[in-house]
Structure 1
Amino acid sequence: MLVDAWRLYPVIALAALAGGSIWLERATRTDEPVVWAEQTGPDFAAEFTRVTSFGDDGRQRYELVADRLEHFPVDDTTRLHLPRLHMLGEDSETFVTANSANVSPGGDQVDLTGEVRVRRPATNDAPPLTLESETLTVWPDAHRALTHSPVLLTRGDGRTTAQGMHADDLFGTLELIGEVRTHLPRRRQGSPS
Structure 2
Amino acid sequence: MRATGDRLAIYLPVILMGLLALGTYWLASNTPTFFGASDAQKTPTHDPDYFMRGFSVKTYDPTGRLKSEIFGTEARHYPDTDTLEIDQVRIRSYDEKGAVTVATARKGISNGDGSEAQLMGDAVVVRDALPDTNTPRMEFRGEFLHVFVNTERVKSHLPVTLIRGTDRFIADQMDYDNLDRVMDLRGRVRGVLMPQGRKPAP
Please classify the TM superposition score into its range, dividing by the shorter chain length: 0.5 to 0.7
Aligned partner (choices 139, 148, 151) of residue 148 of structure 2: 139
Percent identical residues: 27
Aligned partner (choices 131, 136, 150) of residue 127 of structure 1: 136
Aligned partner (choices 124, 131, 137) of residue 117 of structure 1: 124
Deviation for aligned residue 1:130: 1.1
Partner Cα distance (2:113, 2:67) in 1: 16
> 1:175: which partner in 2?
184
Taking only aligned residues, the RMSD between alpha carbons, in angstroms, comes to 3.1
- Between the two proteins, the alignment pairs up a number of residues equal to 155
Partner Cα distance (1:44, 1:169) in 2: 35
> 1:47: which partner in 2?
53
Q: Conserved in 2, the CA contact under 8 Å of 1:150 and 1:162? A: yes
Structure 2, unmatched stretches of 5+, are 1-39
Partner Cα distance (2:137, 2:172) in 1: 22
Report the residue type matching 1:146 in the other structure: K
SS at match of 1:90: coil
Q: Conserved in 2, the CA contact under 8 Å of 1:113 and 1:134? A: yes
Question: Structure 2-normalised TM-score?
Answer: 0.64
Deviation for aligned residue 1:186: 5.7
Partner Cα distance (2:181, 2:55) in 1: 29
Which structure carries more helix by proportion?
2
Q: Conserved in 1, the CA contact under 8 Å of 2:176 and 2:183? A: yes
Aligned partner (choices 58, 63, 80) of residue 86 of structure 2: 80
Partner Cα distance (1:140, 1:123) in 2: 17
1:142-153 to structure 2, matched below 5 A, reads 142-153=151-162
Report the residue type matching 1:87 in the other structure: S
Partner Cα distance (2:144, 2:180) in 1: 16
Name the CA shift for 1:159/1:58 in 2 (closer, same or farther; >3 Å).
Answer: same
Question: Structure 1-normalised TM-score?
Answer: 0.67
Partner Cα distance (2:196, 2:77) in 1: 52
Q: Conserved in 1, the CA contact under 8 Å of 2:68 and 2:114? A: no
Name the CA shift for 1:156/1:104 in 2 (closer, same or farther; >3 Å).
Answer: closer
Does residue 62 of structure 1 match 2:71?
no
Name the CA shift for 1:69/1:61 in 2 (closer, same or farther; >3 Å).
Answer: same
